[in-house]
Amino acid sequence: MLKILYRDEDYIVVHKPVNLLVHRSYRAADKIFLLQTLRNQIGQQVYPVHRLDRPTSGVICFALHSEAAREFSEQLQARQVKKTYWAILRGYCDLSGQIDHPVKTETGKQKQAAITDYRLLATASFPIACRKYPTSRYSLVEFSPQTGRYHQLRQHAAHISHHIIGDTMHGKGEHNRIFRENFGLSRLLLIAKQLEFYQYRQQQNILVETELESEFAAFIQRAEWQYLE
Q: What is the mean pLDDT of the chain?
A: 94
When computed from its CA atoms, the radius of gyration of the chain, rounded to whole angstroms, is 18
Phi-psi label, residue 118: left if phi above 0, alpha if psi -120 to 50, beta otherwise: beta
pLDDT higher than 70, residue 28? no
What pLDDT band is residue 16 in, cutting at 50, 70 and 90? Answer: very high
Q: Each residue of 135-145: pLDDT tens digit?
A: 999 999 999 99
Q: What is the mean pLDDT of residues 4-9?
A: 98
pLDDT higher than 80, residue 228? no
Angle subtended at Cα 24 by Cα 53 and Cα 180, rounded to the nearest 5 degrees: 40
- Structural domains of the chain ordered from first start: 3-227 (3.30.2350.10)
**What whole-number percentage of the chain has pLDDT above 70?**
97
- The burial of 182, by beta-carbon neighbours within 10 Å (0-12 exposed, 13-18 middle, 19 or more buried), is given as exposed
pLDDT higher than 80, residue 74? yes
Q: Each residue of 33-57: pLDDT tens digit?
A: 999 999 999 999 999 999 999 999 9
Residue numbers annotated as active site:
53
Least confident of 20-34, 62-76, 107-121, 190-204: 20-34
Q: What is the pTM of this model?
A: 0.95
| The pLDDT value given to residue 216 | 94
User: Checking DSSP bridges between strand 57-63 and strand 190-199, what pairing results, if any?
Assistant: parallel
Q: Each residue of 56-70: pLDDT tens digit?
A: 999 999 999 999 999
Residue count of the chain, please give it.
229
Give the residue among 123, 187, 185, 116 at the shortest CA–CA distance from 155.
Answer: 116
| The pLDDT value given to residue 12 | 98
Q: What is the mean pLDDT of residues 210-216?
A: 95
